[in-house]
A = this chain, B = another copy of it.
Amino acid sequence: VTTAFALRPASAEGGHLVALAEAHAADFATRAACHDRENSFPFENWEAMRGSGLLGGCVAGRFGGLGVTSVHDLVVAISRLAAGDAATAIAVNMHLAAFWHLSRLERRAEAAGDALAAGQLRRLLRLAGSGRAVACVAMSEAGTSLGWPATTATAVGDGYRIAGRKVFCTGSPVATLFLSSVRVVGDGDDRLGFALVPRETGGLRVTESWDALGMRASGSHDVVYQDCLLPRRLVMLAGSLGAIAPEVMPVVTVGALGLAGVALGIAERAQELIVAAVTTRRRGPGGRLQAERRAVQTLIAESEIDLGAGRAVLARAAAGLDDRLAAGTAEPAWDALMKEVQCAGMTAKRGALAVVDRALTATGGAGYLTANPLSRLYRDVRAGPFMQPFSPLEAFEYIGKVTLGLDPELDV
């Protein structure tokens, strides 16, 4: 992305992460079409990111990571990665958001003097710092919403038995740890909970079933928990069913912003490709550049407007998040922040869909061919509106209720 108005990292650590992301993107782009066609998982991309240190991006330097704490810079890095391979970027995003969250929990545990929790987290962060731990956020289920998981965690002896099926588990082929929402059943009312399920847990199965319109290299398989036994410390109890628990709001909010960054990265790539095409391709007997056609200029202009809006909303929402998190030790009003993130995400994703669509139109037909990378971007970018929380089926209700001061609890 060479434009003078591209997003820029705000911190030195972020600058490092963004530079790595750009370098990886250039490499991944060379294989993206192949993995898309073969519906294969790019294990070599993950090996490369382990080697470069990118996978430890949000882990502190003392644990071997790059030490990025700025959400803004995380989003910028993800957008750059997505310009090369969006499928890889969505999986990396959830991994980095998870460890951004766990890093923050560790700092908070330490500050609160909770040595036990801090110690457990540190062990995990050391693994992640060197890229040996990879997180997969396995929240979604078929036929229900985020606040009402059907996957159960039943208290048994010293721990829990987990049973259920998660879908859209992006990055599952390389994940070592699955973060899953569960319905804690037992005495009394069911409650919400969160389980950290290590990959080696008996009964855990990744189905290798992912086959979709786009984001084909993301490995978003189903994960089945068939009576997985977990020690008690790997299951956190949260609030009542029906809402997003405060305990996971940070990771969900940051993850959502990163996914919007993926959409922006795809759109920036599409615009780059079409600008290059119309400023080099000549047409007809007069040999006029495509770029000289007024209809092409108008498409390019509309996309610049969308890209400018996408960059601005992501930068402002992310910087706002960083400011509020830096401001104090108390948790911020997460619903208000999530609302801002959802608004920003809606603008960025809608804009990205429109930008890629216009790029296709501006090709005059060539973009419809499989050989043209725009046809892949068109399929990849459509994933954006499905992403949790909140898809368009829930987002307007959520944003509206928070704005109007109503309880944002959602229907099933």
Listed in ascending order, the chain A residues whose CB lies under 8 Å from chain B are 4-5, 140, 142-145, 148, 167-168, 211-214, 275, 278-279, 281-286, 288, 291-302, 304-305, 308-309, 311-313, 315-317, 320, 333, 336, 339-340, 343-344, 346-347, 360-362, 364-366, 368-371, 375, 378-379, 382-383, 385-386, 391-401, 403-406, 411-412
Contact = CB atoms under 8 A, between A and B. Distances in A.
B396 A301 contact: yes
27 contacts: A142-B366, A144-B285, A148-B284, A168-B365, A211-B371, A285-B412, A288-B411, A293-B393, A294-B295, A295-B392, A295-B393, A295-B397, A296-B393, A297-B401, A297-B404, A297-B406, A298-B400, A300-B399, A301-B395, A308-B316, A308-B340, A308-B347, A312-B312, A312-B317, A360-B382, A362-B393, A365-B386
B301 A403 contact: yes
Contact of A361 (B282, B366, B371, B392): B392
Q: Which of A294, A315, A336, A379 has the most CB of B within 10 A?
A: A294
Nearest to A383: B368
Given A214-B368, A275-B403, A294-B294, 8 more contacts: A4-B333, A142-B366, A211-B370, A211-B371, A213-B379, A279-B405, A291-B404, A304-B403
Which label, helix, strand, loop or mixed, suits the secondary structure of the A interface?
helix
A140 B365 contact: yes
Contacts of A404: 275, 278-279, 291, 297, 300
